Structure formats: C-alpha cells, structure tokens
Amino acid sequence: MTAGLPGSAEAGHNVAVTFETQHDLGPALPQPAWPPTGPPAGIDLDVLDEIQQRILWLAVRIVDAANHDRATGDGVKVGGHQASSASLVTAMTALWFAHLDAPDRVAVKPHASPVFHAIQYLLGDLDRSYLSRLRQRGGLQSYPSRSKDPDQVDFSTGSVGLGAAAPLFAAATRRYVDDHFGPRPRSRFIALVGDAELDEGNIWEAVADHATQGLGDSMWIVDFNRQSLDRVIPGIRIMQWTTQFRAAGWHVVEVKYGRRLQAKFAEPGGEALREWIDAMPNEQYQSLFALSGPDLRARFLDGAPDAVRPVVDAVSDEELAPLVQDLGGHDLAAMLAAYAECDAVTDRPSIVFAYTVKGWGLPTAGNPRNHSALLTPDQVAVLRARAGLTADTEWDRFDPTSPAGVLCHVRREHLQRPPRAEGLGVAAPEATGIRSGKPTSTQEAFGRVLVDLSRGELAPYLVTTAPDVATSTNLAGFINRTGVYNPDEKRAWNEDPVLKWAEGPGGQHIELGISEMNLFLLLGQLGLSWDLSGQPLIPVGTVYDPFVCRGLDALIYSVYSGARFIVAGTPSGITLAPEGGAHQSTITASIGLELPGVTFIEPAYGVALDWLLCDAVGRIAAGHHAAPTAQPAEEGAFYFRLTTRPIDQAPFEAARQRIGDALLRRQVLAGAYRLVDASALAAQGAPVVHLVGSGAVLPEVLTAAAELADEGIAAHVVDVTSLDRLYGAWQRTLRQGVRTATTPSVPGALRAVFPDRAPVVTAHDAASHAMAWLGSALGVPAVPLGVDAFGQSGTVAELYELHDLLPGSIVNAALAALALG
Ligand SMILES: Cc1ncc(C[n+]2csc(CCOP(=O)(O)OP(=O)(O)O)c2C)c(N)n1
Ligand SMILES: [Mg+2]
C-alpha cells in the first residue's frame, strides 16, 4: 500500500531562516530549528491570517458569482476552481504580503487565478467591478493571461507544466541579460505549480537542460495537495520527486506539517502519531477532511497501531479536525521560513513541496471529485458569515486604518513597478545586401544574413538558440562571430577550423539540449525580456521544421504570452528528400498560417529572404508596440519555413530588373510578387493561367510555365513569400465587408499580383490545403498541388514525382484548371 504522507528524506533538517526579503545574504545566518517557533520578525501572523481568510473568501465568491450571479443564457456551465484556489491561499498570501519585492515575477497555477485576482484587488490594483466578472467577456480570464487580464500578470498559465517552466527560462534570460548589459535589480522568478503538473514531460525537459542550471533566483512552490483533476493520487511519489529534483541539482524543501501537528509530535507518544500519519494511505488521509467528531476519530484510527490511540484519545473532538488538517502549506510561518531558506540558497534553483489540502477551509476539502465542484449558495452563505461579512460588505476591501488595511497599503507601495521598457530605438537595415550569383538555399541565405546582422548596430541584441541543431541549421557563421553563451568562461579543448565553439558570458548563442519544448519556452522568455528583464532582445531560434510540432504547445504558449521572436523551421518539406518520412514536414505551413500571433513566411530566393528577415528584425527592434506600419496581427513571432535545396537565383534577378527593387521589396513583404509575367503572350490572346508557388518548389513551377508558354498558354508565375500576409489581407477585407454589410473588395496585395482573372494552380512543398483558399479569394477555379501523404527517402525529383509536383504534373494541373474555368 502506498503511504499517504510518507516520511521526508530531509525530515528534521535545519533551515536558514531570515524573514526579511534579503538578497545579498552575506555571511552564514543563524540556523533556527525547523519549524519556526514564533512569528517572523516584523510580521504579524494574525494580520496575515486575517488577510488570507479574506482572500479565501474572495476567491470562492469570485467563482461563485461567475456561476450563480449571472445568467449566460447559453446552457453552458461557467465553471471555476474553488478547491484548487483554496489550496494555494496560504502560499500566495505569504508571497504577496510578506515576501515579494517589486522586481520579482510569479507564475500562478492556472486554477488559482481567483486567488491572484483577489490579492490584486486587496492591494488596490484591480477594480472591484471585475470581481463579479470572472470568465465573462472582457472580464477576468479563467486562467492568468498576460494579454487579456486587466491586472498585471507576469506569466500566462493554463496548459499545465508550461507555467512552471516559463519562469525558469525567464530567469535564464535574466542571467543572459545581466551578463550582456549589466545587472538589473535582482528579480526572483517564482512558479506556483500544481503537484499533478509534475507529470508533464516539459517540466523535466526544462529542469534537465544545461541552460537552466544554477539559477539561484528561481523558486518553484508545489501545491502538494495530492489530488489531480480526476482523483486522489494513490502513489504521491514524494520521494521520487525530491530525489529527481536533487539529482538535477536543485535545492529541495518540504513543508509538511504545521505547528499544531509538530507540537503534538513532540509530546509523549507523538512519534507514533507521526509514523501513522506518514504511513496512512493518501486516500484514507484525504477522506478524513470531510469528517468530524466520532466518525473522524474512528476513520483516523482505522488500521492504526495501538500506540497511536492514547495520543488521539487525548485530543478533543473539536481539536481533532484542525489537527489532522494541519499541513505545512497552510502554516504562514512555515511557508515564510521555506521562502527565506530558498532565498539563502543562491547557487541553484529551489523547490518547495508545500503539503496542502485541496479545498482548504471549504466543505469540499479533500473530496476526490472536488476539482471543479462548486459550493452551493447555502454553503457560500455560511462562509460569508464565517468571514464576518454580509451581502452588503462581502466585496469590501479592508478598512484602510485597520492593521490589515495598513499592510495592504504598505505592500502595494512596496510592489509598485517602474514602467516597462519600450523598443530598442535602433533601426534595422532594409537589407544586408546578400549577393546571389550561384544557386542558393534559403537556409544558406538565412545564415549569411544573420552573420551580416551580427556586424551591424543591432548586433548586441541578437541572441540565437537551437535544440542541438545549431550547426545543421546554419547558425555556425553567427556562432563563430559571437560565441556560445555560458555563465562562466570555458576552455575550448578542440581546435576546429570551421566552427569556433567558444563558450563564455559574452556569447550570443544559447545552446539547448534536444527539446523543442525548451526551444519555444526559451524563445518566448527571450521574447518577453523587454518586460520581464527590462531589456529588449532580438531572439532567433532554429529547429528542424518537422519538429515544430514537437514544441507546438510551447510555441502557442509563447505567442499567446505576447513574446516577439524569430524562428526558422529548417529544413522543411519533402525537399529534405533523402531523410525520409520521419524528417519531412507537411502540415507546418498550415500551422504557421493559422496560428494567431505568428507571421508565417516562406521565401524561395535569397534576396527575398534578406528583405523579409531584416523587416522582421526591424519590427521586433521597434518594440512591443510595433512599428506604426505593422498590422496588429503581427504583434508576435515570425516563422520562416526554409529549406536546404539550392535553387537558381536568376529568375528572381530577372524579376528585380523588371519590377525594380522598391516595388518588388514592398510586394515581397506584403506576401507575393509576380516572378514571371506572361502578359505579352496573354496580349496575343493566349489563354491565361496563374501558377502560384511558395518556397522550394518554385523551379518546377518555372519550368511548367515555360512548357505552357511553348504550348501557347500564358502562365504568370506568382511567388508567395508569405501566405499568412496574403491570407490576412484577404480576411481583413472580407470581415470588413461582413461587419459593414458591404461587398468586400479584393485586397491590394492580391490585386497587385493577380490583375487578370484566370484559373489558378498552387504548388507547395507542404499540404495542398494551405494554399487552396486562393481560388476562393480570387473567385476562380483552382487546382491545389501539395504533399498530402507521408513522404519517403529518395531524391527531390523522385519525391516530387510521387506527390505530383514535377513540372509535367503542374502543366496538367494548369490544363485542368483551364478546363474547369
Ligand atoms: C496540458 C494540460 N492538460 C490537461 C489539462 C486539464 N487539467 C487542468 S488542471 C488538471 C489537474 C491539475 O492537478 P494539479 O496540478 O495537482 O492541480 P490542483 O490539484 O491544485 O488543482 C488537469 C488535468 C490542462 N489544463 N493542461
Ligand atoms: Mg494537485
């Protein structure tokens, strides 16, 4: 059988305790015995307790109001998490009212968002009107949201596991910023984590990576309530978790028992009581929370050794329930002591396992089904009365002259932050002037542009990262110039004439282990450095394109958080022909196109890539509140889908001659330009078709156009450099039409490159669906060609043949499109 609250490996350990939020701790501090025996200096635990009781009430009532005070009219349950909130009330009260400093940054467990908002309200940073607007449009978000909540959320959370890792990467970012731009005021990066979140793999990827080692300003607080969504967890695995964190180099603290239980353990026979609680199955222990009086006594003693009975007999019925539930995670002094202990450990991250009760103080405490259980209005009324409130006063803040009111004011002042940093104020060049005499791949051009940028004004702000694919995605040139980041100077043992892997605090490439989750989490935090570390950066990451999907949730997380960065998915598609199906990406273009906050870009030619990359860098450098010209949809990341296929650059140079750089650049940035203009043939009365390609498949499209011309068919070739921008332009005009009930016009970006009404063939080294909408946008027949099955190993031509992307198939598709017209 599994033990309920198994003995800690560190039971009885001493901790360094200081109750000031002290950063430079200097010489070793006195080591009071664990647990702390009295209130920490300068902190009135009674006042803190009064505050935490009010926070508990408000958190419960915020969820209650969302469900019971408003009619939604749609039959859909509103929901919310009172038990998960209650669990963290003590930990969060201790943080905000006695531990945090203004520069500290905290990620809040998604289901504790009502607690966070209750705290912001009591501090005076959230208007009262929001308290009854949880889960309402324009109101408080269900889960903490940087972009949508009205109060200042440091880290969005919601997809469990990511909210734990994000502050760790924010701390890694701060270390980088301090090393490159001088130290900022110290921030502690804190995550409040649900215990079941530890099942998420991304947690362990983050903990294991070299980039997060030694981050002494990081602290995780695990809400160790031993319940997940579905159940009371049978094997709570505390030994396993603590051992794993220690093995990863973390400092581990367990806050297991409160002072009541500790005192009882110290009495004669108390050791037997402790042993029994430690040995009791978790399910049995949790079932005690719903009981009282003789029932509780009987259940508690069920299976207990004889030695326990006299200790329990000496406890009255009224005392027994609070005693049994007296876990350290609800002991303010114990939590503050744990935080102080973590502060004193500055050479590695810390984790606090705070033993808690899910539903603490509520009638749902410990119930296996309490995750989304809502208190009834009657139960809420009992709580209201218990809090000393009435229907008229239930939302009130503390009287400002009361000790609790004074502490709220003091803490509010203490936590005020300076305004956030704006953009860099350094402009990006329009182009680095990449030359394209010979066949070039977009991956190659990407590497060259980065090297060039590393010589310019923006150089100090560029930071690259990759999950063990830096050299194979062509970051080597950049790394040679800037070095690899490591907090300490490292001696190089190999003389490599091609790659200079010099590691030190000045390096500008952050190398990650193979974890695409970590890549997107780090990019996200580098891309929020303007806010969380007061230093805008220009982060650039690379990843094999098929593995974008591996890190997708973290990518979504980062862009939802408002991060600004560039990522190159390279190589991509079946153009990576010899690598076979396991390494070929097909749906990533759709992901890039469809993800909000991501501008998807897929150039074919080096110069186009140069313009697009410089433009993206410039937009990021312009700052969070992007350049005035930027569309709102581009307040986010830029995703370049690139390849290793060298292609002839001459057709682009011809288009340059024909169109001129100024106009061509504008069109490339807007999403498409006419690579081949067949107007002369069309003027002679030839049938007209549009061949539209994106990325590596352009050579086949060009050959098809030439063959069609030989057949007397005028085939304009359009190179789509950003499906996303084209689609966005189309959607905007459509939506405008829908909203104003007017006939939508064809957007300028489409009209400029598709002046003729003619059938369309699309060709893409990606799922055919991603470009298929063009027919609809232009109101013409369309034949979309693309990769709609897994690829296999072969040559480019062999695989293009397999997926109907060879010129012959494109010609046939053009004839089919004309026939459909
Ligand atoms: C990635 C992801 N998977 C599933 C969920 C649904 N979910 C929300 S909370 C939860 C259980 C969380 O348990 P725990 O972290 O222990 O939190 P607590 O007990 O404090 O509520 C689950 C499965 C989610 N939010 N994110
Ligand atoms: Mg839990």
pLDDT in tens, 85-127: 999 999 999 999 999 999 999 999 999 999 999 999 999 999 9
Q: What was the pLDDT predicted at 558?
A: 97
Ligand 1 atom at shortest distance from the alpha carbon of 111: 21
pLDDT of 426: 87
Give the pLDDT mean for 717-728: 97
* For residue 21, pLDDT beyond 50: no
Model confidence over 210-236: pLDDT tens digits? Answer: 999 999 999 999 999 999 999 998 888
Give the model confidence (pLDDT) of 473-532 as tens digits: 999 999 999 999 999 999 888 888 888 899 999 999 999 999 999 999 999 999 999 999
**Model confidence pLDDT, tens digit, residues 778-812:** 999 999 999 999 989 999 999 999 999 999 999 99
Residue of minimum CA distance from atom 15 in ligand 1: 194
Question: Does 113 contact ligand 1 (Cβ within 6 A)?
Answer: no
Q: Is the CB of 194 under 6 A from ligand 1?
A: yes
pLDDT of residue 435: 83
Q: 53 C-alpha vs ligand 2 centroid, how far in Å?
A: 21
Q: Is the pLDDT confidence value at 721 over 60? A: yes
Q: Judge whether residue 36 has pLDDT over 80.
A: no
Amino acid present at 73: G
CB atoms within 10 A of CB 338: 29
Stretch 641-663: mean pLDDT, rounded? Answer: 97
Question: How many Å from the N-terminal Cα to the C-terminal Cα in the chain?
Answer: 73
Instruction: Place 626 in a pLDDT band, splitting at 50, 70 and 90.
Output: very low
Q: How far apart are CA 783 and CA 760, in angstroms?
A: 6
- Rounded CA gap, 705 and 306, in Å? 91
Ligand nearest to the CA of 79: 1
Q: What pLDDT score does 493 carry?
A: 84
DSSP letter, residue 9: T
d(CA 111, CA 133): 16
The residues, ordered by sequence, that sit 6+ positions from 695 with a Cβ below 8 Å of its Cβ are 442, 572, 573, 575, 602, 603, 604, 641, 643, 764, 765, 766
pLDDT at 39: 56
Q: How remote is the CA of residue 228 from the centroid of ligand 1, in Å?
A: 6
Task: Report the pLDDT value the prediction gives residue 5, as an integer from 0 to 100.
Answer: 63
Q: Is the pLDDT of residue 665 over 60?
A: yes
Average pLDDT score over residue span 635-644: 94
The percent of residues above 70 in pLDDT, for the chain, comes to 93
Residue 25 has pLDDT above 50, yes or no: no
Which band of pLDDT confidence, cut at 50, 70 and 90, is reported for residue 4? low
Q: How far apart are CA 646 and CA 641, in angstroms?
A: 15
DSSP states along 175-239: HHHHHHH-PPSP--EEEEEEGGGGGSHHHHHHHHSGGGTT-TTEEEEEEE-SB-SSSB-S---HH
Q: Is the peptide bond before 571 cis (omega within 30 degrees of 0)?
A: yes
Report the alpha-carbon distance of residue 672 to residue 7 in Å, rounded.
Answer: 65
Cis peptide before 35 (omega within 30 of 0): yes
Q: What is the 3-state secondary structure (H, E, C) of 269-288?
A: CHHHHHHHHHHCCHHHHHHH
Residue 606 has pLDDT above 50, yes or no: yes
- What is the model's pLDDT at position 33? 41
- Provide mean pLDDT across the span 233-246: 92
Q: What is the pLDDT of residues 306-338, one digit of tens each?
A: 999 999 999 999 999 999 999 999 999 999 999
556 CA distance to ligand 1 middle (Å): 18
- Given a contact cutoff of 8 angstroms between Cβ atoms, the answer to whether 529 and 535 are in contact is yes
Per-residue model confidence (pLDDT) at position 167? 98
pLDDT for res 421: 67
**Ligand 1 atom nearest 193 alpha carbon:** 15
Return the pLDDT at 418: 87
Q: At residue 3, does pLDDT exceed 50? A: no
Give yes or no for a contact between 164 and 522, defined as CB atoms under 8 angstroms apart: no
Q: What is the pLDDT of residue 465?
A: 98
Asked if residue 197 has its Cβ within 6 Å of ligand 1, the reply is yes
Atom index in ligand 1 nearest the CA of residue 227 equals 19
Helix (H) or strand (E) holding 676: strand 672-676
372 lines ligand 1 (CB under 6 A): no
Average pLDDT over residues 698-717: 98
Rounded to an integer, the average pLDDT of 381-406 is: 98
